Structure 1
C-alpha cells in the first residue's frame, strides 16, 4: 500500500489526514486514550510536548549562511505577513465578539482564528512553487519563514493588538526550544542534518494529537466559514505581499502570491495559545477547525493562482537543487 504517496497527493495531507483521524477518535471514542493507559494517552493527546520537539528541530534547520539577497527577500515577505496579520487582528478585535461569531456562515470565527490563519506561510508549498516559477534567490527565501512556526508570532500579534496580555516568561518559553535548536544547528552542521530529519516525521503525530481535541461536529459547523477564511487569507495577505515583493524585494509579485497561504503548522497555534491564555479555550476548537480548512483551501488555490500569475509575468525557471542548497532537504509546512 502506498499510504505515504497518497498523503503527499492531498494538499496538506501529512497534517490534515491524521488530524481528521484524531477528530474521528475524539468524536466517536473520546475516552479511548484514558482507557488504553498513560502511554497511549500521551501519544494521542500530547500536542504540546510533540510540538515542542518539532519546534526545536525546525530551529535546527535554519542556516545562517544564506546570502544577503535571500535574507532581504525572505525578510520582506516575513515582515509583510506579520504586519498584515497585525492589522487584520486589530480590525477583527474591533468588530468581532470576544467569544467569536455564534451563528451563520462565519460561525466559530474569532480573533484567534483570523490571527493564526494569517500570520504563518506554508513554507514547503512556497518552496515548491518557487522551484518551478521563481529565481534562485526566491526559492531560497523560505529560510526565514521557519521563524513563523510555533505560537511566538501569533502571541506577538495578539499582544501588540491589545487582544491578549502574555507574561514575559511565556514569550521566552515559546521561543526557547526554537532558539536552542537554531544554536545547535549552526554550531554543528551534522546536528542540523540529524535534527532536520525529524521535522517531517513528527507532523502526523502532532496532527493526530491536535485532531483529538476537535469534535467532528465542530468541523462540520465551520466548514463553509473555513473556506471563506481561506479565500480571505489569500486576498488580504496576497495583495500586500505581492506589492512588497515587487517594490521592496525587487521581484515581480510571484513570490508574494506564493506566500499568501495558511501554514499547516498554524493549525496547532489556537490550542497552544489557549493553554497559555485560558480565555481563548472556548474558541480554540472552532479556531483550529477553521484554520485547518483554510490551510487546505489555500494549499489548493495558491499554486493555481501563482502559476497563472507567473506565466503572465514570464517566470524564470529554477533548477531542482536550488532549495537543497539552502537547507538540506527539510521542508516546513
Structure 2
C-alpha cells in the first residue's frame, strides 16, 4: 500500500486529504455530533491545528544554523527568490484585483501566495542529489526550509495589505518551528529523534485537513489548481534560474526549486484560523494548492532532467528523472 501511495506525487499528503474530504462530503454533519467530537476519532479528524503544530516542531528540528559560504549564499538566494516573487504577486493582486478572494478561475490571493512561497524540499533534494554536481546545492535546502509553515504566507498577505493579523498571530504561527529549531540545534540526538516523526505526521494532519473540505464546494478547483501549478513552475522557475546563475550555479537548482511543497496545502487553513476574511475560501484554496503540488511534482523533474542534459551534455544524461 505504501509503495502505491509513494508513486503518486505528494501521495502521503494528497491521498489522506482526499479520504478526509470524501468522508466529510458523504457525512457533512458528522463533525457536529457531540459524541464524535469528544472521541479520539473525532480528535483525529478535527485536530488539524494540534497535528500541524507537532509537525512544525519536528520539521523545525531539521533546520540547522551551521551552514555557511556557498550553502548560505545559494540557500538565501533561492529562499528569497520564492518569498519575494510571492510578495510581488501579492502587491499586484492588491493593486489590480477588486476582489482578492475570487480571481481568474476562482483562484484567491490566499491560494496563490501559499503555492508560490514554499518549495517542495524532498523533490529539490532528490533532483539535486541525482542530477546536480555539488552536494552543497542539496544542502542549500536547509536554508530554504525556512519557507515552511504559514508564517511567510501570513507575512506576505499582511505586508501587501491583503490581510490584517495581530502581532501575536505571527509569533504563535512561527513558535512551533522555532521550538523545533532550538531543540534540533542544541542536541543532535533530539534532532534525529524529532525528524523521524515528521513523515508520520503528514498523513495525519492531511486527513484532518481533508475532513474540513466538502468536495461539493470545490468542484471547480481542479482546473484552477492546474493553472496555479503551471504558474508556479513558469514564474518562479524563471526567477530562480536567474538567481541560481548569479550565485555561481548553472540554473539547475533554480528549476529544481520551482515547485510547491506538499505541506503548503496545510497553509490556507492555518491562515484562515488567524484571519477570518479567508475562512470562506480556505477549503477551495487547500484543494487548489494540493493540485499545484501534484502539477509541480510532475513537471519539475521533467524540466530539471531536460535542463541537466542541456547544461551537462549527453555524457551526463544517464540519470532518470526523479518523481
Bin the TM-score by the shorter chain. over 0.9
Cα distance in structure 1, aligned partners of 2:97 and 2:285:
14
* Equivalent in 285, 288, 313 of residue 286 of structure 2: 288
Cα distance in structure 2, aligned partners of 1:63 and 1:204:
25
Cα distance in structure 1, aligned partners of 2:178 and 2:7:
32
RMSD: 1.6
Matches within 5 A, 1:289-304: 289-304=287-302
The answer for the alignment partner of 2:225 in structure 1 is 226
Q: CA deviation at 1:133?
A: 1.1
Post-superposition Cα deviations, 1:42-68, rounded to whole Å, max 9, x if no partner, equal 110111110001001111111223342
Report if the CA contact (8 A) 2:258-2:300 is conserved.
yes
Q: CA deviation at 1:207?
A: 0.7
The answer for the alignment partner of 2:167 in structure 1 is 168
Gaps spanning 5+ residues in structure 2: where? 317-323
The answer for the alignment partner of 1:118 in structure 2 is 116
What SS does the aligned partner of 2:259 have? coil
The answer for the alignment partner of 2:212 in structure 1 is 213
Cα distance in structure 2, aligned partners of 1:290 and 1:96:
19
Cα distance in structure 2, aligned partners of 1:116 and 1:273:
10
Q: CA deviation at 1:193?
A: 0.4
The answer for the alignment partner of 2:36 in structure 1 is 36
Matches within 5 A, 1:162-311: 162-247=161-246, 249-311=247-309
Gaps spanning 5+ residues in structure 1: where? 318-333
Structure 1 residue runs of 4 or more that deviate by more than 4 Å after TM superposition: none
Matches within 5 A, 1:75-154: 75-98=76-99, 100-101=101-102, 106-134=104-132, 135-154=134-153
Q: CA deviation at 1:37?
A: 4.3
Cα distance in structure 2, aligned partners of 1:77 and 1:300:
20
Q: CA deviation at 1:108?
A: 2.4
The answer for the alignment partner of 2:62 in structure 1 is 61
* Equivalent in 25, 28, 37 of residue 27 of structure 1: 25
Cα distance in structure 1, aligned partners of 2:91 and 2:36:
44
Q: CA deviation at 1:285?
A: 1.2
What SS does the aligned partner of 2:174 have? helix
Post-superposition Cα deviations, 1:183-230, rounded to whole Å, max 9, x if no partner, equal 111111100001011110000011111111111233421111110111
Post-superposition Cα deviations, 1:86-144, rounded to whole Å, max 9, x if no partner, equal 00111122233436337xxx432111111001000000110000011112111111101
The answer for the alignment partner of 1:321 in structure 2 is none
Report if the CA contact (8 A) 1:218-1:289 is conserved.
no
Post-superposition Cα deviations, 1:255-304, rounded to whole Å, max 9, x if no partner, equal 00111101111111111111111011111111111111111100100110
